[in-house]
Structure 1
Amino acid sequence: MDTGYVHGYTEPETRRLGDQADTLAELLHAGTAYPAGSRVLEAGCGVGAQTAHLVTRSPGAHLTAVDVSEASLRQARARVGGVDFRRADLFDLDGEYDHVFVCFVLEHLLEPEKALAHLKTLLRPGGTITVVEGDHGSAFFHPRSEHAQAAIDCLVRLQADAGGDALIGRRLHPLLTGAGFAGVTVEPRTVYADRSRPELVAGFTRDTFTAMVEGVGETAVARGLATADGWARGIADLRRTTGPDGTFHYAFFKATGRNP
């Protein structure tokens, strides 16, 4: 599988993934629950941050969770019990499942439609797929800052250079229909944070989004995409959006489809 995980496999990134999953659990997982006894595949489970919420919402389902990183899988096994964790490349997967769940994976793939087409071969007729992705182009914030926007743009560029697409949320409908899924629906799941929602200010604006951008700073400066001073200003301005007068908006996209 062609993938470049631009965020790295550090301990801060592991914490960020956990913060993101816990803060956004209701936003991202609402409407997703699998019947007892159903066979569910989570493709690209990482450290198990989303896996934990899948298990909570579908306690009777038989969940298989796969990832290419053995280090991530060790953390996933420690985080979640009752799951069949396996190390595997997405394109090497076989078997038959009733449902497939994919969250924050396609954005890192060089050929996301090819990946979806392969996942379709693993679904029984009538089986469903659920895909969740973000779109960094949906980030709007106050106070407005060109330096903060430039830092976000650096992350988008670095992900593109690694073969991914940080703007993939807007592409989910054509990607799923192009891969042959039927009945595709896509809906935005919007995060909006201001001082009246302190849990989102801390859990999402600060500990998820700003932490994600900040994590690529060393690489962005080393590759000449930003100066050290410009990067520091951009991160400082992103942090300002968590202040008393700050606001932050971001949209995730959740898509569903079925194997005809």
Structure 2
Amino acid sequence: MSYIHSYSNTERQRLVEQADFLEKYLYPTISFGPGDTLLEVGCGVGAQIRCMLRRFKPAMITGVDRETSQVEQALANLPDEVQTGTVELYIATGDLLPFNDNTFDGAYIFFVFEHLSDPVPVIREIKRVLKPGGKFYCTEVVNQALYVYPRSPAINDYWAAFNRLQSELGGNPDIGLHLASACVDAEMTIRSFIPVPVMMDKRMTDSGERKHFLHMWERCLLSGASSLLERGMIAPDTPEKVSDEFEKLSVNPESIFQYDARQILAVKE
């Protein structure tokens, strides 16, 4: 299975900035206790670990990722936390975790299952390592939920190609809609399953905030541009056209941009 995004330094920095940008949208419905031991599967460069440490003050977060270079970057991003033992990082796959049964108070995943063909083996493995009563939060993509106004043909066409490649690479660009079914198959008890809207419309009145919002989404979408260009799935000038449309959206007071992810809370009984 290939990864639609790159492992470049630019992409790694984007992941850190994206986590900070999305924090206010994704975290209000997440709750862990101070002193909890937490597991993140697909920790990448450690961006979400920083958010979790800041918000919940857990005793320890253990992060795993299958990509060695990402774990090395996470180590570089979290040197003090690793040194003090607040964070531990491992190279491992989510369906074969190197931990004993009933180890963690909680677990979480952000935007990982979109790259997998089947999340159920990973959820079953997370269930194994959770303590009884342990909580599992997962936030995932629903790419068909993207809505842009006024109509932006380059963005729409690019996004269609992005999602087509995501599927061809073995992922699921709408995996968020499948989270409840996957947790049922993994025999987890579902406590909540909700949309998480990330939206800009006339309520966002600050021009700087609007520009930043759209710039973050432009970077998110175009993070797959190199993979699409390599495979000839978009024209060479498509990324520039996408950027031009984002610029037009940023100066148009009528613009609307919405993306809905899905978030589930499941518990090990």
Same fold (TM over 0.5): yes
> 1:197–1:101: structure 2 CA closer, same or farther, 3 Å change rule?
farther
Percent of aligned pairs with the same residue? 26
**1:212–1:62 CA distance, 2 compared to 1 (3 A):** same
| In structure 2, distance between residues paired with 1:229 and 1:63 | 43
2:174 equivalent to 1:167? yes
Aligned match for 1:240, one of 248, 252, 262: 248
Matches within 5 A, 1:214-233: 214-233=222-241
Name 2:154's counterpart in structure 1: 147
SS of the residue 1:91 aligns to: coil
Query: Does residue 138 of structure 1 match 2:145?
Result: yes
- Alignment match, 1:252: 261
Q: Distance in 2 between matches of 1:200 and 1:178?
A: 41
Q: What SS does structure 1 have at the residue aligned with 2:5? A: coil
**Aligned residue type for 1:131:** C
Match of 1:83 among 81, 84, 87: 87
Q: Residue 89 and residue 250 in structure 1: after superposition, are their counterparts in 2 closer, same or farther (change >3 A)?
A: same
Q: 1:110 to 1:139 in 2, by over 3 A?
A: same
**Structure 1 pair 150/118, CA: closer, same or farther in 2 (3 Å)?**
same
* Aligned mates of 2:42, 2:29 — CA distance in 1: 20
Q: Rate the CA distance shift 1:164–1:223 in 2: closer, same or farther, 3 A.
A: same
Tell me what 1:123 maps to.
130
Question: What is aligned with 1:48?
Answer: 46
Match of 1:59 in 2: 57
Structure 1 residues 12-59: Cα deviation after superposition (integer angstroms, max 9, x where no partner): 211221221111112111132322332211111101111101011121
27 and 230 in structure 1: CA distance in 2 versus 1, 3 angstrom threshold: closer
CA distance in 1, matches of 2:156, 2:88: 41
Describe the superposition over 1:56-93 as per-residue Cα deviations: whole angstroms up to 9, x where unpaired. Answer: 11214321111112221222223232311122121221
In structure 2, do the counterparts of structure 1 residues 160 and 59 end up closer, same or farther at CA, with 3 Å as the change threshold? same
Q: What amino acid does structure 2 have at the position aligned with 1:57?
A: R
1:38 corresponds to 2:46:
no
- AA at the equivalent of 1:249: Q
C-alpha distance in structure 1 between counterparts of 2:191 and 2:123, whole Å: 13
Residue 198 of structure 1 and its aligned partner are, at CA, apart by 4.5
The one-letter code of the counterpart of 1:86 is Y
The alpha-carbon distance between structure 1 residues 56 and 168, as it changes in their structure 2 partners (threshold 3 A), is same
Tell me the distance in 2 between the aligned counterparts of 1:202 and 1:166: 26
Structure 2: tracts of 5 or more residues without a match: none
Count of residues in correspondence between the two structures: 257
* Partner residue of 1:186 out of 175, 193, 196: 193
CA distance in 2, matches of 1:257, 1:156: 27
- Whether the 8 Å contact between 2:44 and 2:70 is mirrored in structure 1 is yes
Q: Deviations over 1:140-181 (max 9, x none)?
A: 112202221010111111111111112111221112122111
Corresponding position: 1:92 with 2:99: no
Local SS of the residue matching 2:250:
coil
The 10-residue stretch of structure 1 (241-250 or 44-53) with the greater mean CA deviation from structure 2: 241-250
Q: Which amino acid aligns with 1:244?
A: N
Separation (CA, whole Å) in 2 of partners of 1:110 and 1:191: 25
1:197/1:152 Cα in 2 relative to 1: closer, same or farther (>3 Å)?
farther
2:116 equivalent in structure 1: 109
For the 8 Å contact 1:47–1:76, the answer to whether it is kept is yes
State the 1:105 CA deviation.
Answer: 0.8
Q: TM-score, normalised by structure 2?
A: 0.87
SS at match of 2:31: coil
Tell me the TM-score normalised to structure 1 length: 0.90
RMSD (Å), alpha carbons: 2.0
Amino acid at match of 1:87: I
